[in-house]
Amino acid sequence: MTRQFQGKIEVNVRDSVADWDAFIPDKAPEGAPNVLVVLYDDTGQAAWSPYGGRIRMPTMDRLAAGGLTYSQWHTTALCSPTRSTFLTGRNHHLNGFASISESSTGFPGYSSHIPTSNATMATVLREAGWSTFWVGKNHNIPIDEWTAGASKKRWPLGQGYDRFYGFIGGETNNWYPSLAEDNKYISQPYLPEEGYHLSKDLADQALRMIRDSKQTEPEKPWYLWFCPGANHAPHHAPEEYIAKYEGMFDDGYEAYREWVLPRMIERGILPEGTELTPLNPMADGTFADGDYVRPWAELTAEERRLFSRMAEVYAGFSEYTDAQVGRIVDYLEESGQLDNTIIFYCADNGASGEGSPNGSTNEGKFINGYPDTIEDNLAAMDALGSPDTYNHYPTGWAAAFSTPYRMFKRYTYQGGVCDPLVVHWPKGIQARGEVRGQYHHCTDIVPTIYEACGVTMPDVVDGVEQTPLSGVSMLYSFNEPDEPTTKKTQYYEMFGQRGIWHDGWKAVTEHGPISGISNFDEDRWQLFHTDVDRAEEHDVAAEHPEKLDELVALWFEEARANNVLPLNDMQVAGKDLQAFLAMEFNIPVPPSGQYTYYPGTSEVPERSAANVHAVSYKAFAQVEFTPETSGVIFAHGSRFGGHSLFVKDGQLVYAYNFLGIPPEVQVVGPAPRSGHHIVGVDFSKQSMDEHRVSHGTLKLYVDDEVIGQDDDFRTMTGHFSLCGEGLCIGYDSGDAASKEYAGSRFEFTGGVLTKVVFDVADDAYVDVERHLAAAMARD
């Protein structure tokens, strides 16, 4: 913190005494380390090589061999909530991140607005003399701050970061990402044909930020939070990395569980005698249908081939990204920084079961409530991992990569919350290649970093009194393998499933997340003695009723102290829908029902753009044409779902990609060759089918003349994209919405595009159910 001015001010500067120290920021303590946090998405404890898993992670192996592997480190079971604990060191409900931004509700624990009383670690470290960088995924911006016009207070630059480069939302296309830099949306720097992949770009950007800092402030330490899109869907990887895993998962997910457990035990990750929990461990009616695992023995030969290939792609994605992290580690070594950089390499929750029992080659079908058939997926098998698919593996692999535990991501059993963590810091850790078994949690990372850096969390930040940190430092465990954990208690809650760990025991409700069961007072609590039963195999609630009562009472105490209530297990579709929607943040529709957009602007996030799903709509543009006019008038979405109005080769084309299912539909007519004209489309909805797809007539206009018409036109129900791929005027960002200009932004040229007006006033019907399903799929 800068001090009060202590110089002297007279009339004449010659008689006055300057005091630079009143203006210059603090310097970090002598010998303080750099901090690198590598936070992957959606990866259970049994996936990666340092833990005995089949996915080779050479960089992580190297760091584990030179540092520590933690066997009992835990997260919140979901992306944004875990990430919020890395931001502030407070429990996720205290951060307003009970779940994700897109499903936030107006309660303190659920608003997705981090209160100023929870200052971020970046704010504190920057004041203490560190450069602060955030590269990669950012799923902690509230949805009301996603647009260009909104406040950027909760974007990284408003949260203590000097620089940001990455993406906003739960996921993005790794070949054609929706990128943001600092406080604005940007285009990707080059294309897949030129070797682009998001993981590689993120490593390049991270290296640039560190080098920029070191060459101008060589003595200043830095903190980098590196969050790749891996291993969240869509699983995208270069072919040569996928090929490394050919045939390696052919034995299936149940066989993988049997194979990996003894390897985890051999490495000391799990104690001798640890048993596998059953596949599908929960009683009927206590969890959502989509979380069921189909037994491998019941699959057809073709299904097995498809599911194995999906695991190969996931593995290739993970290893390729690890190689990019390796480039950062190599640079640190070459530049002499590795010895005093404290590195945390970890994942934010268990493996993801959001791929449904059958997996998917285009997640968009799921969020649009459109059937994802094995036939369609088989047809796309060879393209898996390429720019042509938007894929996710089936629930069986989520269970396998979360061996030996019950369930996976979103669940408060160990399958959702027990995760990999490797810590590397040659200067501060004497041991090499050892396992640490002390029980810890993601809220403990920030206190550990503060202690390692010699920084104390201030009581007041920017005039706001601070909430105490929720976690405890893990620093003692670096050099004390046999010390008992300093953690006493950790509560859990995710989408209505509760859990609490206390002194070697854990109680969990058998009440699946997003299950819609309600009636929390009737929950059956299970009790596990985790000191001797790490897998949570044996429910001993009947033998230890007093212990269970003690833990349940403690859960309520923690819940009240951390803003956990009210519990919400509402389903994203069905009976709870209207009530849920009424609680959500809603972006207001203009009273006119008309939205006007201009060229030379940033893309508009889909959530805030004019809604063209499940409604009739008109979209018209004012254009001055010439014989050379060419390019996009408006575009929204991608090849996996999207539409675009553009001029090419003298033709005015309206292209619609319905969930990426071929063929791309086009309505075409001759474009004017000169003069001012109003051109556009009018979709008139006439019916909805059993998948809630809208059918009707699409007319393409030049002024009042219909130049093209399709009487059997269909439009998508939910969203073009889970996140990113917003509405663009005069270009197409990210992945192209039409194959006619694939691989380019196809900027409007050779004329004047004045504005585009969307009119959705005539039909206010929105399928709220799909809307919400899409929101929840983003976690």
Binding residues for Ca ion, rule: CB under 5 A, are: 638, 725, 732, 734
Q: What does DSSP say about strands 694-702 and 727-729: parallel, antiparallel, or unpaired?
A: unpaired
Query: Distances from the Cα of 617 to the Cαs of 461, 610, 683, 758, in angstroms?
Result: 49, 9, 5, 7
- 52/599 with CB nearer Ca ion: 599
Rounded to whole angstroms, how far apart are CA atoms 78 and 67? 27
- 580/640 with CB nearer Ca ion: 640
Q: Which 3 state secondary structure label does DSSP give 699?
A: strand
Shortest distance, CB of residue 678 to Ca ion, whole angstroms?
24
- 151/744 with CB nearer Ca ion: 744
**Nearest Cα to 645, choosing from 729, 706, 703?**
729
Shortest distance, CB of residue 778 to Ca ion, whole angstroms?
18
Shortest distance, CB of residue 230 to Ca ion, whole angstroms?
22
Query: What is the helix (H) or strand (E) element at residue 131, kind and residue range?
Result: strand 131-138
End-to-end CA distance of the chain: 37
- 148/589 with CB nearer Ca ion: 148
Shortest distance, CB of residue 746 to Ca ion, whole angstroms?
10
**Pure H helices in 114-180:** 121-127
Q: How many CB atoms are located within 10 Å of the residue 602 CB?
A: 16
Angle formed at CA 562 by CA 446 and CA 342, multiple of 5 degrees? 10
- 115/743 with CB nearer Ca ion: 743
Shortest distance, CB of residue 740 to Ca ion, whole angstroms?
13
- 184/673 with CB nearer Ca ion: 184
Contact 461, 455 (CB under 8 A): no
Q: What does DSSP say about strands 665-670 and 617-625: parallel, antiparallel, or unpaired?
A: unpaired
- 710/725 with CB nearer Ca ion: 725
Output the 3-class SS for 557-587. Answer: HHHHHCCCCCCCCCCCCCCCHHHHHHHECCC
- 664/725 with CB nearer Ca ion: 725
Contact 495, 290 (CB under 8 A): no
- 470/738 with CB nearer Ca ion: 738
Residue nearest to Ca ion as judged by C-beta position: 734
**Nearest Cα to 82, choosing from 494, 509, 513, 571?**
494
Contact 577, 769 (CB under 8 A): yes
Residue with tokens 């120290």: 21
| Amino acid at residue number 409 | K
Shortest distance, CB of residue 744 to Ca ion, whole angstroms?
11
The strands making up 525-528's β-sheet, listed across from edge to edge, are 489-494, 497-502, 505-509, 525-528
Shortest distance, CB of residue 739 to Ca ion, whole angstroms?
12
Shortest distance, CB of residue 732 to Ca ion, whole angstroms?
5
Shortest distance, CB of residue 387 to Ca ion, whole angstroms?
12
Shortest distance, CB of residue 603 to Ca ion, whole angstroms?
8
Q: Which two tokens mark 180? A: 């943001």
Q: Which two tokens mark 38? A: 């590598």
Shortest distance, CB of residue 737 to Ca ion, whole angstroms?
5
Rounded to whole angstroms, how far apart are CA atoms 40 and 63? 15
- 429/722 with CB nearer Ca ion: 722
Q: Which two tokens mark 536? A: 């949570």
Q: Which two tokens mark 644? A: 């675009």
- 198/269 with CB nearer Ca ion: 198
Rounded to whole angstroms, how far apart are CA atoms 743 and 713? 26
